[in-house]
Amino acid sequence: MILHLLKYELNYTMSELKQKKIQDILSKYRRAGEISIGAKKLAKKIIKPGVNIWEAGEKIENYIIENGAYPAFPINISTNNEAAHYSPDILDDRIIPKKSIIKVDLGAHIDGYLVDTAITLNFNPDFDNLSKASEEALDAVISVAKAGTKISELGTLIEKIITQAGYEPIRNLSGHQIKRYVLHAGVTIPNASPSFIDRPQGRLQLGRIYAVEPFASNGKGLIENGNITNIFRFVNPPSKKQKELIPLYNRYKSKVGVLPFSPRHLYGLDTSEDKLGIYMNLRKLLRANIITGYPILIEKDRKAMVSQFEHTLRITNNGCEVLTSET
């Protein structure tokens, strides 16, 4: 009905209206991409050994907000054998270690149209080639990605480049399709050949948005859950039997929405609620299956190091538009 009214009032054809809507959506993806690029530049500038991880995360997320977007998920600042999902805790006193390798994974969204991107910041020259391996694997995927490319071929290519460099891809982590307000939208982009990823993946589809994120490791090439969880997401409303949780659900969800969030984003929402109170409330919501948590992901070989690079791609007939690259 709205499209028909616009057609009448603005004298657009239906095909023109559809094209206008597509261009409006693309402009939001592109602007979110531009903001994420600026956030990565800021991360490169401020994240150094000795820097407080909470302060760095707050500055980078505030940059995203100040420039007209919102974080698509809590910033990940993962150290050494941590592959992903370490997001700074409330008033986190952790600092960036000397001679560390840091993965900064961040996202931005405008009106739910989101991008996902990551870089590795390496403060130890011993890991330069490890960092380079995941970055070159990502560049290789970008060079072949277009409508119709077999997704399984991308995993094979990532695995080939990383193993030829003398490392292992993280085989049980993958990239993913992106949809509005949905970070992981069903289709996965594997980091290994089909011999490991046994379900069919199909082909890249014209116009769709995908995040590709090769991880390289000098260990086993497998991750497992750690014992820290600082990222959560709402998955269900309270049931009739859980009516005592409705006020808490409404208060928290009105603040963070449907995308993943950090307890940091709830701090200060209620001045009577301290850090312990927030985590106690989140535990209640977890037990009630109202939220889910995303634990930190750690290399199974706890002495191993991990690198990661990631871009968000829009697929075209002749290649792809890299929404999160400054070049």
Full DSSP string of 234-301: E-----GGGGGGHHHHHHHHHHHTTS-B-GGGGTTSSTT--HHHHHHHHHHHHHTTSEEEEEEEEESS
Give me the pLDDT at residue 1, please: 41
Q: Is 105 a catalytic residue?
A: yes
Does the annotation mark 82 as catalytic? no
Q: What band does 14 get if pLDDT is binned at 50, 70 and 90?
A: low
Higher pLDDT, 95 or 8: 95
The phi, psi pair for 150, rounded to 5°, reads -65, 130
Q: Which residues, listed in sequence order, are joined to residue 311 by a DSSP beta bridge? A: 212
Choose, from 55, 58, 139, 184, the residue flagged as catalytic.
184
310 is annotated as an active-site residue:
yes
Domain that holds residue 89: 14-226+300-322
Whether 85 is catalytic: no
Same domain, 54 and 195: yes
pLDDT band at 6 (very low <50, low <70, confident <90, very high): very low
| Residue 36 counted as domain residue | yes
**Does 192 share its domain with 317?**
yes
Over range 285-294, report the average pLDDT: 98
Residues 57 and 125 in one domain: yes
Domain total in the chain:
2
The SS3 call for residue 77 is strand
Query: How would you list the strands of the sheet with 306-308, edge to edge?
Result: 168-169, 215-217, 306-308
270 part of the active site? no
pLDDT higher than threshold 70 for residue 218: yes
Which of the following is catalytic: 34, 213, 265, 311?
213
Phi, psi (deg, nearest 5) at residue 274: -90, -175
* Radius of gyration over every alpha carbon of the chain, rounded to an integer in angstroms: 21
Determine if the pTM surpasses 0.75: yes
pLDDT score for 200: 54
Residues 137-142, mean pLDDT to the nearest whole number: 98
Annotated active-site residue in 34, 168, 310, 311: 310
Residues 56 and 172 in one domain: yes
Residue 2 lies in a domain: no
Active site residue 111: no
Statement to judge: residues 317 and 289 lie in one domain: no
Residue 5 has pLDDT above 50, yes or no: no
The length of the chain, given as a count of residues: 327
Percent of the chain at pLDDT exceeding 70: 93
The pLDDT of residue 138 is 98
Judge whether 115 lies within some domain: yes
pLDDT at 9 over 70: no
Distances (CA, A) of 27 to 21, 114, 204, 206, 292: 10, 11, 22, 17, 32
Task: Tell me what pLDDT residue 19 has.
Answer: 81
